[in-house]
Structure 1
Amino acid sequence: MKLGFLLCCLCVFTAPTCSTSERCDDWGVDTMKLIQAYEGEPARIRCPLFQDFLKHNYSTAHSAGLTLMWYWTGQGKDLEEPVNIRLPNNRIIKDKDTLWFRPAIINDTGNYTCMLRNTTFCSRVAFPLEVVRKDADSCVSQAVKPEVVELPLEHTERLPCPDTDGFFPVNVTPSVTWYKDCISENFYERLPQGLNLTFIVVRSNYQGNYTCIVTYEDSGKIYNLTRTSEVKVVGPPEDEKPPSMTTPNAKTLYEFAAGEEMLLSCEVFCPFVRNSRNDVWWTVDGKKLEENTERIIITESVNEQLGGAKTIKVSLSIKQVTVEELKRNYTCAARNSLGEVSRQAPVKEKVGTPRYITELACGLGATLFLVVCLIIVYHVYWLEMVLFYRAHFGTDETIGDGKEYDVYVSYARNAEEEEFVLVTLRGVLENEFGYKLCIFDRDSLPGGSK
């Protein structure tokens, strides 16, 4: 039975001939597996060859005679060298498929390579480790990207302190301090319970970054672990629905004249649906527009709303639309994992006003405007116009009428009115326009004209 097991392992891990012993399958640097750790805190690196590449566990590989070795290339260096696991105080140790740092320091930053090999088989992969310092006056560093956790609105949820399993012995109960945005507070409706923070009721203002600092003792040393989760409050499952379209709608008719810019807007409300994407697009005569063309330009804007919902607006525009383009079928469609909705934008050619009607309207408008202006001028300046006409074009109406005077002037006997009558009024009417004035004090003599 043991012989059969070894033959099985050799079939998996050995090459066809011994001539391949010099070759090693190098999977390169897996940058998707960036590991970040805080300076002075424990960190670990697990070799991904077993889970992601070879699909066999460490025990099986070890039983087949394969040896796991660790190498690293320091930041800014080119030379790869073995990881030194014989440091004082066992700061770096190897435990099966895991490399431990207790604690990690800044100089540990670099690319780490795990190599699995024997005399006939070799495979290796590298991935980066970044050790960072916490920001000043902060419990975290902005360089460390937190894990995003979505909590449904108005629900009771539990937020675990992530990535702590295996860091401390199972018989050790660590102390945990929780922070929101690096501020220690009395969590109203949120109950810290060791490695879990229970949200009794999830509310929209509870969104933010939650940090747990775990303190534990191992082999007589005190260690801290800092972990952060970014909590996003999303819509509850019962509100998950297909998208709904606001525009276009049956009540709106889009009319454009040839040569104008045609602009069609599609506005869609997309409620939050977990693990679903929202797609909004236009079709022209049933053909989906994947990207902008020479004639048709598609623009999109997204408005984020409470609970992860979105309002997506996708506009379709044609700068100088032609008659043929106005006759095409323009339809907007939207979908998520729960359903799809589509609606046509009714487009028609705008009927222009006949030219003679336009000219007639302009003529009537100009005439009416001129008449109004003349009426206003006459109303304001009618006396000046009459006097001007009489002075230049009118006949002398006083000839043959048998009257000695044209105007009789009576006034209050005070200095102001007397000056106006004798100087101003007399000067204008007698000297400029030739009227004969009968002024009371000047011409009303006993036995004179009445």
Structure 2
Amino acid sequence: LAVSLIDGCTDWSVDYLKYRVLKGEPVRLKCALFYGYIRANYSQAQSVGLSLMWYRSSGLGHGDFEEPISFNGVRMSKEEDAIWFRPADLQDVGLYSCVLRNSSYCMKVSMSLYVAENDTDLCYNSVMRHMEKAELSKSKDITCPDIEDYTEPGKDPHITWFKECRPKQWRASIIQRRDTLSIREVKEDDIGNYTCEVTFGGFVVRRTTELTVTGDSLSLSLTHTHTPTRSYIFPSKFDILWMNIYF
């Protein structure tokens, strides 16, 4: 990260962590200063007289004019070291800066927030999907990522899994454990989009993972109307593509 000194304040520019959320879902945007920049948490900073202020840029570029955020306490609220959006809206897209300061100390960092809508007739946005790969006949775990802020401490989250946005009766070799869907033996039919759903404070949080499958030896059958089926073996690893070819 680029660091600069502006008006006596150490500015760490924009943090590498980018917040991405679907419209209508809650999101907790945490001040990154307490998660890698200083050796203190929010309570410790308060105890030595440091105040935490929040600003929002008028544009998407770092260095654009910033104005203090007026929290209404309803849809957007300041809670300890974070801003909560309950829920996020498209108008919330932008850069958010947290500034920790007193009369002799000042440090600042910015975080980006991206809000998107679901793709038409789907329960996810394709750009915001997580990507995973698995190998045929091997085991694979698909996790429900980044849900720590939307579960009760000390309790296992109640997670519902969907495939292609529809409820599914999983076969016996697919087991759900806490925040993970475990596939003991990957098959061709396991290719696709897996969505986990968590209920939190009257809202729903969803994460979608696209699973692709590779294999050490894949066969492709080409059927001719006048000749027997011919199989071709590819020894190297390819993404699985299924085709019916007619002559």
Q: How does 1:123-162 map to 2 (within 5 A)?
A: 123-144=107-128, 146-151=129-134, 153-162=136-145
Q: Which structure would you say has the larger Rg?
A: 1
Secondary structure at 2:44's aligned position in 1? Answer: helix
Partner residue in 1 for 2:106:
122
- Counterpart pick for 1:81 among 60, 67, 79: 67
Partner residue in 2 for 1:305:
238
Secondary structure at 1:34's aligned position in 2? Answer: strand
Partner residue in 1 for 2:14:
29
Q: Residue 176 in 1 paired to residue 156 in 2?
A: no
Cα distance in 1 for residues equivalent to 2:124 and 2:163:
11
Q: How does 1:5-44 map to 2 (within 5 A)?
A: 22-30=7-15, 32-44=16-28
Cα distance in 2 for residues equivalent to 1:135 and 1:94:
30
Q: How does 1:276-425 map to 2 (within 5 A)?
A: 305-306=238-239
Cα distance in 2 for residues equivalent to 1:206 and 1:21:
52
Gaps of 5+ in 1: 1-19, 237-270, 272-302, 308-450
Measured after TM superposition, the shift of residue 33 of structure 1 is: 2.2
Cα distance in 1 for residues equivalent to 2:44 and 2:89:
33
Partner residue in 1 for 2:96:
112
Cα distance in 1 for residues equivalent to 2:237 and 2:214:
11
Q: Residue 225 in 1 paired to residue 209 in 2?
A: no
Secondary structure at 1:107's aligned position in 2? Answer: helix
Partner residue in 2 for 1:52:
36
Measured after TM superposition, the shift of residue 212 of structure 1 is: 1.0
Alpha-carbon RMSD across the aligned residues, in angstroms, is 3.1
Using a 3 Å threshold, how does the CA distance of structure 1 residues 66 and 175 change in structure 2: closer, same or farther? same
Using a 3 Å threshold, how does the CA distance of structure 1 residues 152 and 66 change in structure 2: closer, same or farther? farther
Secondary structure at 2:71's aligned position in 1? Answer: coil
Partner residue in 2 for 1:4:
none
- Counterpart pick for 1:187 among 150, 170, 195: 170
**In 1, are the aligned partners of 2:215 and 2:237 still within 8 Å (CA)?**
no
Cα distance in 2 for residues equivalent to 1:52 and 1:26:
14
Measured after TM superposition, the shift of residue 121 of structure 1 is: 0.9
- Counterpart pick for 1:164 among 130, 147, 156: 147
Cα distance in 2 for residues equivalent to 1:142 and 1:155:
26
**In 2, are the aligned partners of 1:70 and 1:112 still within 8 Å (CA)?**
yes
Measured after TM superposition, the shift of residue 199 of structure 1 is: 1.2
**In 2, are the aligned partners of 1:204 and 1:306 still within 8 Å (CA)?**
no
**In 1, are the aligned partners of 2:28 and 2:149 still within 8 Å (CA)?**
no
Using a 3 Å threshold, how does the CA distance of structure 1 residues 212 and 195 change in structure 2: closer, same or farther? same
Cα distance in 1 for residues equivalent to 2:67 and 2:91:
14
Q: TM-score, normalised by structure 1?
A: 0.42
**In 1, are the aligned partners of 2:215 and 2:238 still within 8 Å (CA)?**
no
Cα distance in 2 for residues equivalent to 1:76 and 1:156:
42
Cα distance in 2 for residues equivalent to 1:21 and 1:113:
14
Q: TM-score, normalised by structure 2?
A: 0.73
Measured after TM superposition, the shift of residue 211 of structure 1 is: 0.9
Q: Which amino acid aligns with 1:110?
A: G
Q: How does 1:207-226 map to 2 (within 5 A)?
A: 207-216=191-200, 218=201, 222-226=202-206
Measured after TM superposition, the shift of residue 206 of structure 1 is: 1.7
**In 1, are the aligned partners of 2:71 and 2:78 still within 8 Å (CA)?**
yes
Structure number with higher helix proportion: 1
Q: Deviations over 1:90-120 (max 9, x none)?
A: 3222222222111111111111001111111
Partner residue in 1 for 2:53:
69
Using a 3 Å threshold, how does the CA distance of structure 1 residues 27 and 154 change in structure 2: closer, same or farther? same
Measured after TM superposition, the shift of residue 65 of structure 1 is: 1.9
Identity, % of aligned positions: 34
Measured after TM superposition, the shift of residue 157 of structure 1 is: 3.9
Measured after TM superposition, the shift of residue 234 of structure 1 is: 5.8
Structure number with higher strand proportion: 2
Q: Deviations over 1:29-84 (max 9, x none)?
A: 23x32211111111011111122322433333233222111111245695412222
- Counterpart pick for 2:77 among 69, 86, 93: 93
